Amino acid sequence: MLDSTGWSLQSLTAGPWIYAAVTTSILLDVLLPVLPSGILVVTAATAASAASASATAGASAPYVPSLLPLLLCAASASVLGDLAAYRIARRGGTRLARALARSRRLSTAQERLGETLARGGGLLVVLARFAPAGRSVVSLGAGATGRGLQDFLPWSALAAAVWATYSVGLGWLSGRWLGATWLGACVPVLALFLAGALAAYVIRRPAAAPAAAS
């Protein structure tokens, strides 16, 4: 039987509206990185997992989202948001390029993105999906530098699938192990932030210098 804390957590994600909230948050956070889309996904997944476990045990529970539709919403919204940012940057052209150039951090990330994609190293797009504001830098940078959509979109889709699977998976595991409690929600959120910090470290780490010729 769930305690009042568990019911409180599930009530935050109860109702079909949670799919629209997750989709909207992920669509917009490529332009507004302050939106807590990742937190919303793992919290909803935690509540869904705990509710599924309770239903298996015979306990009743309020409506919560199903894990598969939640996963599909998160991945699809991530790709569509990336594509929208890419198109906006592509059409912004010179104006956006000047704005990026004024920021040393963004211009450095932009240059590195171009070099990495040119070498076929689109895994940077996947890593950036976890890093704070990394998705914004990559999507806008790809459009502003004129990268072909065929070079960017497949990696964006892979990044979306990996990020959505990781986030929903964290929530599922936490809901199974810790239940629909605030601790059960905080643990996967912390794991999501740790993954973001690790991704940011890897992206910012300078590339190894080529070995000197003997």
Whether residue 6 has pLDDT greater than 50: no
Q: Return the CA Rg of the chain.
A: 19
pLDDT of residue 158: 94
Let me know: does 191 contact 199? Beta carbons within 8 Å: no
What is the pTM assigned to this prediction?
Answer: 0.78
Whether residue 190 has pLDDT greater than 60: yes
Give the tens place of pLDDT for each residue, 51-89: 766 555 445 555 667 889 999 999 999 999 999 999 988
Give the tens place of pLDDT for each residue, 89-126: 888 756 666 666 666 666 666 666 555 555 545 787 88
State the Cα–Cα distance between residues 180 and 111, nearest whole angstrom: 44
- Tokens standing for 59? 């306990």
Q: Specify the higher pLDDT residue, 67 or 16.
A: 67
- Tokens standing for 193? 């932030």
Under the banding of pLDDT at 50, 70 and 90, the label for residue 210 is very low
pLDDT of residue 23: 93
- Tokens standing for 140? 């806008």
pLDDT of residue 133: 81
State the Cα–Cα distance between residues 49 and 97, nearest whole angstrom: 44
Whether residue 168 has pLDDT greater than 50: yes
pLDDT of residue 12: 57
How far is residue 204 CA from its own chain's centroid? 18
